[in-house]
Amino acid sequence: MALTSLHPEYGARLVLERDPAEAGVAYQLRVYEPEDVLHEGRALLDGAFALTWESTPPEWAVTFLERLLAGLAKKHAEDGSFPRKLTRWREPR
């Protein structure tokens, strides 16, 4: 089955793409919800991390992203091997 849209029927699809133009580690964030709802933002990981949003996604999606980013920072900070792109799907919680 081919993926025709990143917008799921329910839940949210979360896409993190690393921004190579940043001096540190930065990700462009996209949260796709049903009915063509899209939230975009940025995450900067510099020991701690900061999220900024153009429009705020549901709280459960933000919580998941915060945990995912904390895990990335912990796992990859020492060697700098942060992934270029991550895509995850989550149901509302």
The pLDDT, as a whole number, for residue 45 is 86
Is 4's pLDDT higher than 70? no
Q: Which residue has the higher pLDDT, 75 or 1?
A: 75
Please report, for the chain, the start and end positions of each structural domain, with discontinuous segments joined by +: 12-90
Is 3's pLDDT higher than 80? no
Tally of CB atoms within 10 A around 63: 12
Cβ atoms of residues 86 and 11 within 8 Å: no
Give CA 29 to chain center in angstroms: 4
pLDDT in tens, 17-45: 999 877 789 999 999 999 999 999 999 98
The model's pTM is 0.86
Nearest Cα to Cα of residue 60 among 12, 26, 5: 12
The identity of residue 24, as a single letter, is: G
The pLDDT, as a whole number, for residue 1 is 47
CA 40/CA 22 separation, integer angstroms:
17
Give the mean pLDDT of 41-55.
87
Is 2's pLDDT higher than 60? no
